[in-house]
Amino acid sequence: MFKVMLVCKGSLHQGEIESGGSQCTCIALVFLTLNDIPKSVQEVDNILHKGTTTYQSLAHDDNVYFLITDFPDRVSIENEIFDLSARNPISGMVLQEIDHLDSLTLKLDSAVEQGFGIAPTCFLTTGNNPGYTIGIKNIDEHYYVMDSHSRDDKGLSSPLGKAVVLQFNSVEQLVKYIKDMCHSVSNTDMQYELTPIIIRKTSVMISSTGPQPSDNTNEINQNNPSPQCFEPMDTEHVANDNTLQDSDISVDGGRTDLNIQQNVDAIDVGNSDPLLLTDDQKHMLICNRMPESTFKFPSKLYKDSRCKSGSFKRSCCREWFTKFEFISYSKDKDGIYCLACKFFPDTSGRRPRKLVSEPYQNWKDAITDLKRHASSETHLNSIIRLSGFQETYMRPESRIDINTNARGDTLIAKNRQILKSLIKCLEFCGNYKELVKFRAEAGDSVLDDHLKQCAKNASYTSKTSQNELLACIKRFIQQTIVDEVKAQPLGPHFGYQCDEVSDASNWEQLGIVIRYLRDGSPVEKLLEFVQAEETTGSALCGLIVKALTDAGLDIQFCRAQTMDGAGNMSGKNLGCAAQFTRLSPRTVYHYCASHNLNLVLCKCCNVPEIQLMLDSLKQLG
């Protein structure tokens, strides 16, 4: 027996916040993005309020449970940008004792070990409609849980509880707590879903309004990129002029609202591979070319016999960043780079190493060398590319790839309309090609244009296309049925009915019907017809198990099976029902009542009068 370790708790829970109650997923995300574990009431309350604000900015409707799949790939939390990559969820029942690999459901401890093997941060959702989501993170083999619901000091459900942060030292302790917590919520077993998520905090900290050019933005002069209205500095000048404190000078003269300097420093221009940088990261480096105003540039000694000491000091000078709007300083390399040539190199000729792949550090000749570089042809070509990048970053709608994607989206929408018309014909059990022709002649302009203009190998009217479309319709119908089964409030329990019949070609077809509850009323839906090459009990049982598993149903949740009384179906040892019960012990076999009536009628037909009566009824029908 272990004791739950309470790290801290808040002064309230998520339901006590105004417009709160459905934001647990967003609160869990805020907790998972933190580097440190909250250790005070104020820190827990801050997470609750941050999560609520995030929920309000992302949710389309208030009081709607926010799903993990609703998160976009990039999320802003108080102007901090995070890239999210949620992996495939791992699911099962909380009290499940063995792994069911055939149905891809795992017991809880297996799921935890597998999930945290993928990512150090995970969401855990338990229950149905809508469920409870908490955040769990693994730090040095210790598991920390943030539960924003009403919980007591042990993390169990309590009407007078608060949001809590808990610590566990092993997988076993974490699993034991989750089971106890779920039991405190409901006495019945409930589903769980563990979703590993990889969270990457980007170095771009742009304000929520995005980069906005100022009214007095100065475009880069491509013909004369470096101002010529200054003289070379005196050799006795010790370059560390801190009087110029504008650290936000950008290439285009505008300013960008950045949040935290340390995040700007997370990417250094000297260590950056332009091929791996995102557009946001490039823009951030362009807009933050110079260190913060408190930074002191390192000095270098140069020999000079004209000085009394025989040498003089030189360092990078802030004044240069105003005069040459294309340079950026690297703290790691103590050198400057040309952003235009580094990020957008000219591939037509030979490129210089200094200022591009290597830092420039010759401070005594910097102005002369920078002037020479600014007038070079390769630099001017790179400046044109840089200017184009800045323009498309400010106005994404002008980008060629976005316009190309827009045209592609239009084509995709048109092709979907074509497929929709073809599927309508396929759903109608008639002559497929003749019905397609009929729809085109009846005014379906999209289909008519397609048939007239399409290539012969892209008409989608061949038998192969028909079969593929039918297979898609089948999967859609099956998935709808399975989703309804899994959405039952008392768990994804179901029963099945089956019978075999010969088709026109004398092949045995096994029909499988699923029975479950929807809104408290029993529902029966045909799941599939399976071709049976053998009709032994073992073969039929294998076909049923495969059909249920392929559709996404766990046979361990099957509670009833109904079939006729034939020996291959109801045999005590080798019958299909007996063999299925060995795989799913809770499945109860029921003999089909309709077959009783059929057997009685067959027996009664030995009486001539009854046989004549049944023949008369058949003729009247």
Question: What pLDDT is attached to residue 397?
Answer: 62
CA distances in angstroms from 88 to 130, 197, 315, listed in the order given: 19, 9, 53
Fold of 478-600: Nucleotidyltransferase; domain 5 (3.30.420)
In total, the chain counts a number of residues equal to 621
Q: Which token pair is 217?
A: 């933005």
Strands 494-502 and 558-563, by their bridges, are: parallel
| Secondary structure class of 604 (helix, strand, coil) | helix
Sequential DSSP letters for 3-57: --EEEEE-SS-GGGSTT-SS-HHHHHHHHHH-SS---SHHHHHHHHHHHHHHHHH
Question: What pLDDT is attached to residue 258?
Answer: 35
The whole-angstrom separation of Cα 360 and Cα 298 is 14
Question: What pLDDT is attached to residue 402?
Answer: 64
Query: In terms of Cα–Cα distance, which of 339, 371, 368, 344 is closest to 355?
Result: 339
The whole-angstrom separation of Cα 385 and Cα 391 is 10
Query: Which are the contacts of 77, defined by CB distance < 8 A and separation ≥ 6?
Result: 29, 30, 33, 50, 54
Are residues 316 and 237 in contact, defined by beta-carbon separation less than 8 angstroms? no
Taking residue 298's Cβ as centre, other Cβ atoms within 10 Å add up to 12
Location of structure tokens 């040892």: 573
Question: What pLDDT is attached to residue 396?
Answer: 65
Phi, psi (deg, nearest 5) at residue 148: -90, 0
Question: What pLDDT is attached to residue 351?
Answer: 67
**Domain range 5-201, its CATH number among 3.90.70.120, 3.20.20.370, 3.40.50.2020, 3.40.50.2000:** 3.90.70.120
Give the domain ranges of the chain: 5-201, 261-394, 400-461, 478-600
Question: What pLDDT is attached to residue 140?
Answer: 86
The whole-angstrom separation of Cα 251 and Cα 382 is 13
User: Using CB atoms within 10 A of its CB, is residue 309 exposed (0-12), middle (13-18) or buried (19+)?
Assistant: exposed
Strands 80-86 and 191-201, by their bridges, are: antiparallel
Query: Which are the contacts of 9, defined by CB distance < 8 A and separation ≥ 6?
Result: 41, 44, 151, 153, 162, 163, 164, 165
Helices (H) and strands (E) in the chain, counts: 19, 18
The number of CA neighbours under 13 Å toward the Cβ of 51 is: 34
For the chain, residues with pLDDT lower than 50 are 204-264
CA distances in angstroms from 198 to 33, 53, 87, 133, listed in the order given: 10, 22, 8, 17
Question: What pLDDT is attached to residue 250?
Answer: 34
Question: What pLDDT is attached to residue 105?
Answer: 81
Query: In terms of Cα–Cα distance, which of 304, 317, 295 is closest to 363?
Result: 317
The whole-angstrom separation of Cα 103 and Cα 96 is 13
Sequential DSSP letters for 251-270: TTS----B--HHHHTTS-GG
Question: What pLDDT is attached to residue 171?
Answer: 92
Strands 5-9 and 327-330, by their bridges, are: unpaired
Question: What pLDDT is attached to residue 19?
Answer: 65
| Secondary structure class of 543 (helix, strand, coil) | helix
Give pTM, 2 decimals: 0.38
| Secondary structure class of 137 (helix, strand, coil) | strand
Q: Which token pair is 506?
A: 């004398």
